[in-house]
Chains A and B, each alone.
Chain A
Amino acid sequence: DTAVSQTPKYLVTQMGNDKSIKCEQNLGHDTMYWYKQDSKKFLKIMFSYNNKELIINETVPNRFSPKSPDKAHLNLHINSLELGDSAVYFCASSQDLSGTGFGGNTIYFGEGSWLTVV
């Protein structure tokens, strides 16, 4: 069973369109994230949610809107797509614990969604 799964894996769309990427985790984690990897392979966080509450909101255009219907799901909706939005988008999750424990505070990633805007 895939721990963090996101769909679609590949998405090619035209400028100006609106698209969504869905993410689900079956790890029982409380926190989920969206990361973006650009063409130079640099990874940067976009958003984090903890128990459906927005925690981190980096400087991201407001065309990007995350939605978390429950703590196991975090979707990313993108309006008015631009060429510069082409990237790989990673969903991830973690269970952040006070104290330490194996696996705690480790962020686990999905397989990525390759978005190409033409």
Chain B
Amino acid sequence: AQTVTQSQPEMSVQEAETVTLSCTYDTSESDYYLFWYKQPPSRQMILVIRQEAYKQQNATENRFSVNFQKAAKSFSLKISDSQLGDAAMYFCAYRSVTQGGSEKLVFGKGTKLTVNP
């Protein structure tokens, strides 16, 4: 079974600075998807970024980018120019390539990010 590990329960960053959240995973599969979700205090789950394992190019979405190291099974999230609204719980998640809903998202335990003004 796949597992996802987020080794940093909490992180903090100064506004406008850059922060990197770590995520490692364990799998024997060669093709899969990786995601970062953001959960603000409202508890809504918001998709931040997605990476397809077959793609060597790291995904980017505006100020958010990932460092995907397939061999090392590492998938870190970099937030540039941090803003107060980035403060949230961030979850790393793994999903097998699937059809028909047969594969679940496997989540890490989350990293709580605090942004200091």
In the complex the two chains form, is A109's CB within 8 Å of B45's CB? yes
Give every chain B residue within 8 A of A35 (Cβ-Cβ).
105
Binary interface encoding of chain A residues 29-49 relative to chain B, with 1 for a CB under 8 A from any of its CBs, else 0: 011110101001111110011
**Contact of A82 with B by CB under 8 A:** no
**Contact of A55 with B by CB under 8 A:** yes
**In the bound complex, how far is the Cα of B10 from the Cα of A12, in angstroms?**
30
Task: Pick the contact of A43: B100, B101, B107 (CB < 8 A).
Answer: B107
In the complex the two chains form, is A56's CB within 8 Å of B105's CB? no
**In the bound complex, how far is the Cα of B36 from the Cα of A7, in angstroms?**
25
Q: Is the interface of B mostly helix, strand, loop or mixed?
A: loop
| Interface residue total, chain B, C-beta cutoff 8 A | 27
Q: Which of B22-30, B62-70, B77-85, B89-97 contacts the other chain?
A: B89-97
Give every chain B residue within 8 A of A30 (Cβ-Cβ).
100-101
**In the bound complex, how far is the Cα of B98 from the Cα of A31, in angstroms?**
11
Task: Pick the contact of A45: B50, B104, B110 (CB < 8 A).
Answer: B104
Q: Is the interface of A mostly helix, strand, loop or mixed?
A: strand
**Contact of A21 with B by CB under 8 A:** no
**In the bound complex, how far is the Cα of B52 from the Cα of A44, in angstroms?**
22
In the complex the two chains form, is B35's CB within 8 Å of A106's CB? yes
In the complex the two chains form, is B91's CB within 8 Å of A94's CB? no
**In the bound complex, how far is the Cα of B91 from the Cα of A40, in angstroms?**
13
**In the bound complex, how far is the Cα of B47 from the Cα of A42, in angstroms?**
17
